[in-house]
Amino acid sequence: MSASAPEVHLAIGSRFENIELVKVVVEDYLRQLEVDEDARHWIEIAVREAVANAIKHGNRLDPSKKVEVDLSLRGEELRISVEDQGGGFDPAGVRDPLLPENRFQRDGRGIFYMRSFMDRIDFNFPAGGGTRVTLSKRVARPRSGATA
């Protein structure tokens, strides 16, 4: 595949069963990029968490609201954005799951996983509402002409 791969856009209704569809599309995209299996696994977990958060916390499980997922590659930087139509949130207000007092709390783990498995995570809040989470990861790919 060339240095710039095709971009993928996916729009799903806010239902947890649609996470599997996103997983299949992301997995196929990463396979086409020849991203190694270990990296694919961690990227897929980060994306799953971002989509689950968009469905649950952003769109409040409202199936009439969409979650949009965009995949792109520029050079060696993979970018995956997940955008909901919710009211937004303050990322600084998310609990740190590593603190002892939060050990048994469920909140905050998804963002923790995204930050752990990706190189960068950015939060944007479009003027029309919602939250856009952009996950970035440098992906090592086989060199042209390399044999497997």
Looking at residue 96, what is its pLDDT?
Answer: 79
30 domain-assigned: yes
Print the SS3 string covering 11-47.
Answer: EEECCHHHHHHHHHHHHHHHHHCCCCHHHHHHHHHHH
Q: Which structural domain range is residue 18 located in?
A: 8-138
Looking at residue 110, what is its pLDDT?
Answer: 87
Cα 103 to the center of its chain, rounded Å: 24
CATH at 74: 3.30.565.10
Rounded to a whole number of angstroms, the distance between the first and last alpha carbons of the chain is 15
Looking at residue 84, what is its pLDDT?
Answer: 97
Looking at residue 148, what is its pLDDT?
Answer: 46
Looking at residue 1, what is its pLDDT?
Answer: 43
120 domain-assigned: yes
Looking at residue 76, what is its pLDDT?
Answer: 92
3 domain-assigned: no
Across the chain, which has 148 residues, the per-10-residue mean pLDDT values are 74 97 97 94 97 95 96 95 92 80 79 94 94 94 57
As for how many domains the chain has, the answer is 1
